[in-house]
Amino acid sequence: MTLVVQKYGGTSVADPQRIREVAARIKRHVQAGERVAVVLSAMAGTTNQLVAWVHELDPATYDAAEYDQVVASGEQVTIGLLAIALQCLGVPARSFLGWQAGVRTDAAHGKARIKAIEVDAVRRCLEEGRVAVVAGFQGLSPDGRVTTLGRGGSDTSAVALAAALHADRCDIFTDVDGVYTTDPRIVAKARKLDRITYEEMLEMASLGAKVLQTRSVALAMAHKVRVQVLSSFEDKPGTLVTDEDEIVEDQIVSGIAYSRDEARITVAQVKDRPGIAAGIFGPLAEAAINVDMIVQSVSRDGLYANLTFTVSRADLPRAVAVLERHRDAIGYERIVADANVVKVSVVGVGMRSHAGIAHKMFATLAAKGINIQAISTSEIKVSVLIAEEYAELALRSLHSAYGLDGA
Amino acid sequence: MTLVVQKYGGTSVADPQRIREVAARIKRHVQAGERVAVVLSAMAGTTNQLVAWVHELDPATYDAAEYDQVVASGEQVTIGLLAIALQCLGVPARSFLGWQAGVRTDAAHGKARIKAIEVDAVRRCLEEGRVAVVAGFQGLSPDGRVTTLGRGGSDTSAVALAAALHADRCDIFTDVDGVYTTDPRIVAKARKLDRITYEEMLEMASLGAKVLQTRSVALAMAHKVRVQVLSSFEDKPGTLVTDEDEIVEDQIVSGIAYSRDEARITVAQVKDRPGIAAGIFGPLAEAAINVDMIVQSVSRDGLYANLTFTVSRADLPRAVAVLERHRDAIGYERIVADANVVKVSVVGVGMRSHAGIAHKMFATLAAKGINIQAISTSEIKVSVLIAEEYAELALRSLHSAYGLDGA
């Protein structure tokens, strides 16, 4: 008997009418002979309201354990309502809070990690022929307090539950109908992918294609959970995220991702000597600022270097402040900061066995007169930093160049 | 060290600003050297919204366990927010859901009864010098599901917690500043009582003075918990509900209560024979309709009887339908139903040792031309049923007659 974990996000359970539609969809799966465990988010908007109340009382120093107590209440509402809606359709169902479903986490309130799921109660419920409706986003700490997994944590809850139950599939229902070759709001010819590997999905997710939470993809990869991303508003297959050997298409490049959450800093005219990179990146690391792409160039006479790197846009002012505080120690002439940049990435597991992917990228951008400010690569992706004004042009050109355009 | 349980209702925690005010009040008690455990309701309006969603999905047959899962989420929000507000004022605090506070109930979802409170965790919290903030209205069933105690159940939670902790006092903060000799909205000269016995409070509460939930008063009486009712918007003493031997005033009548939730039924011209009362009240009991005041009168020739009794207004249509269904078995001529009646009661433990209380009541009403439709009495109260249009006149006249008028 097929066992499926289904996860519905906040817009899919935003009000009783939508909850009723979710119940009807689950009923179809049950009638098709599947055993279904459901993971839910809170109603869209609820968590924001709860967070706003916390911040109204204490904008800064609030106790993360109490924050979790407050924000975990949202899923409690939706799981109970969905169980009622299912029963109303004649589908036996029972709701489980995180602790009732045996979701054990560490004590890192607000961003807890799942340590284990003791699935006995949920499994018993499923074996009795009932739908188990589980609160996503939440768990229980070792000292018996309610924890939450951080924003988007319900995806992680669903994948972890699917792993613990050895489910055949984990269906993530969302407001998009799958993973696209690139952002369809920018590139009209973007195509929905039938399949994508975990590795590619990780790159797509962390590079800004906000379909699945990165942590949930990493977890799915580690436990070989077959994840399907699909729309909760339509009734058609989505994109299956799976192992490389399940991918049959011979597609070298799977998609073009981009991220606007980038800012570039150039530390100019640093006296070139051993240890200058450490002198710059040490203070930034201490300030918990992540640095991504790094380019070092040396002046013609070999005496000075320019160091260019990217940070997230939100970190830009802090990063500049840190560098200015360490100006004497680093010994640079000036700092140039630019928040109007985007990172565009070509992603595909096929790159491992195919040369020329990066070359085609650079040539395509050059042909459009787009200057590349920095480059980084991994086994399955090539990323470039370009001026933000060229973002749409770059995406469309690359999408065509790699033969991804749909009908 | 004095240990106090404080309970705040929904209007007292209706938004972050009011929660901040509650935190400030608790801080004053802590600074005065008291240990404080707090029991909270949900924000005013929240529970109604949650119940409305349940009813929208399933107006009738919904699973009470899932109903409880949904509606118990409201207190989770307020306890976390109050803990944060307290910490913000420098008062160490920690929140507890019903199950975290060890509140064990039976499995009667929607109207569960507290079986025991395993107070170890809450007591430890208090001994560490922290305020324990406990979700009212909720507990855990024997099979690990969230239960709720029914409307107004937070009062019961507070009294039960006070009993389990052997607290010195249980302060119920509400939107009125105490228990009055009668409804001050009707009788301008109503006085706030400094003290009232459990027995009197039970009569006042169940007769319609909606200050304290009846169950909580019965529980307080059983466990000798000293309960104080006071305003959360002012800073002055309220009314202490306590044992008779703590009452020093020599007041024979403590108050005049009334209830509009009454309806009168007369079953007229029943053939008088043994068993007619059973023939009428048996079917009503089977339909779970509670009957209150009962008057039987026999015709002059002794052949026929009229049976008059009261039910709650909501039950009136069902009660009439039941009687009509059993018309042949009962053998009556007609049914007269009247929903425009009120029950007015004179309450006081002093009655036990003083004659003439009932006589004064009847004489006072007669002097105003108010007809008495039914009478019932207990050790500490006399109740009469009168036409609703006389309710205010009756209350004011009786309030004066028993010397209860304030300045």
pLDDT tens digits for range B205-215: 766 667 788 88
A95 Cα to chain B: minimum distance (Å) = 7
* A187 occurs within a structural domain: no
- Own/partner pairs for A328-334, CB < 8 Å, 24+ apart? A329/A279, A330/A267, A330/A270, A330/A276, A330/A279, A330/A280, A331/A270, A331/A271, A332/A267, A332/A268, A332/A269, A332/A270, A333/A268, A333/A269, A333/A270, A334/A268, A334/A269
- Tens digit of pLDDT for each residue in B350-380? 888 777 888 999 999 999 999 999 998 888 8
Q: Which of B365, B353, B359 is nearest to B400 (CA)?
A: B365
Q: Tokens for A84, please give them.
A: 């009622």
Q: Which residues of B touch A76 (CB under 8 A)?
A: 69-70, 72-73, 76
* A246 occurs within a structural domain: no
* Helix residue spans in A72-110 (DSSP H): 73-88
Over range B223-243, report the average pLDDT: 91
Contacts of A45 (CB under 8 A, 6+ apart): A10, A14
Cβ distance B83 to A72 less than 8 Å, yes or no, reads no
- Which residues of chain A have a pLDDT value below 70? 206-209, 247-250, 407
pLDDT surpasses 90 at B22: yes
| DSSP symbol at A316 | H
* A86 occurs within a structural domain: yes
Partner residue facing A57 (CB), from B50, B68, B85: B85
Cβ distance A83 to B63 less than 8 Å, yes or no, reads yes
pLDDT surpasses 80 at B250: no
* B202 occurs within a structural domain: no
- pTM of the predicted structure, to 2 decimals: 0.84
| Whether B73 contacts chain A with CB within 8 A | yes
Nearest chain B residue (CA) to A95:
B66
Q: How would DSSP label each residue in A217-267? A: HHHHHHHT--EEEEESSS-S--EEEE-GGG--S--S--EEEEEEEEEEEEE
* B223 occurs within a structural domain: no
pLDDT at B356: 86
* B209 occurs within a structural domain: no
Q: How many CB pairs under 8 A join A and B?
A: 118
- Tens digit of pLDDT for each residue in B150-176? 877 999 999 999 999 999 999 999 888
CATH code at position A93: 3.40.1160.10
Determine contact, residues B395/B208, Cβ cutoff 8 Å. Answer: no
pLDDT at B152: 73
Total domains in the fold of chain A:
1
Q: Which residues of A touch B147 (CB under 8 A)?
A: none
**Sheet arrangement for strand B114-117:** B114-117, B103-105, B138-140, B146-148
pLDDT at A295: 87
Q: Structural domain of residue A127, as residue ranges?
A: 3-175
pLDDT at B346: 94
pLDDT at B256: 94
Q: Which residues of B touch A56 (CB under 8 A)?
A: 16
Cβ distance B76 to A77 less than 8 Å, yes or no, reads no
A317 Cα to chain B: minimum distance (Å) = 29
pLDDT at A264: 96
pLDDT surpasses 90 at B406: no
Cβ distance A70 to B88 less than 8 Å, yes or no, reads no
Determine contact, residues A129/A146, Cβ cutoff 8 Å. Answer: no
Determine contact, residues B260/B271, Cβ cutoff 8 Å. Answer: no
Cβ distance B57 to A95 less than 8 Å, yes or no, reads no
pLDDT at A110: 93
* A398 occurs within a structural domain: no
* B375 occurs within a structural domain: no
- Own/partner pairs for A123-131, CB < 8 Å, 24+ apart? A123/A165, A125/A94, A125/A96, A126/A3, A126/A35, A126/A36, A126/A37, A126/A165, A128/A92, A129/A92, A130/A92, A130/A93, A130/A94, A131/A26, A131/A30, A131/A36, A131/A37, A131/A38, A131/A83, A131/A86, A131/A91, A131/A92, A131/A93, A131/A94
pLDDT at A247: 67
